[in-house]
């Protein structure tokens, strides 16, 4: 049986979707925004606090943040 391809244009507004559904979709794609990631936000806060206090020993937290956001280890 032959395969048939067709294009369809659909006008959809993101406002028609629930926020929770959008977040679930982003999470399933591994693209959840950093702001939605409580752990990443906490790491940024810890890095900021250490820098603010003159403590330059925040490499471990920075590595964790990079891994959480990019999914890669340096």
With b for 16 or more beta-carbon neighbours within 10 A and e for fewer, the 19-50 pattern comes to: eeeeeeeeeeeeebeeeebeebeebbebbeee
51 falls in which pLDDT band (50, 70, 90)?
Answer: very high
66 falls in which pLDDT band (50, 70, 90)?
Answer: confident
In this predicted structure, what is the pLDDT of residue 73? 77
Per-residue pLDDT of 10-50, as tens digits, reads 998 988 999 889 888 888 887 766 555 668 888 899 999 99
Instruction: Return d(Cα 39, Cα 33) in angstroms, integer.
Output: 12
All residues at 6 or more sequence positions from 43 whose CB lies less than 8 Å from its CB, including other chains:
61, 62, 64, 65, 68
68 falls in which pLDDT band (50, 70, 90)?
Answer: confident
């Amino acid at each position: 049986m032959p395969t048939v391809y067709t294009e369809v244009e659909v006008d959809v507004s993101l406002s028609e979707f629930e926020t929770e559904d959008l977040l679930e979709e982003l999470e399933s794609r591994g693209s959840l925004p950093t702001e939605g990631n409580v752990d990443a936000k906490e790491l940024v806060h810890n890095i900021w606090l250490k820098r603010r206090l003159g403590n330059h020993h925040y490499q471990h937290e920075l590595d964790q943040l990079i891994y959480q956001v990019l999914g890669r280890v340096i």
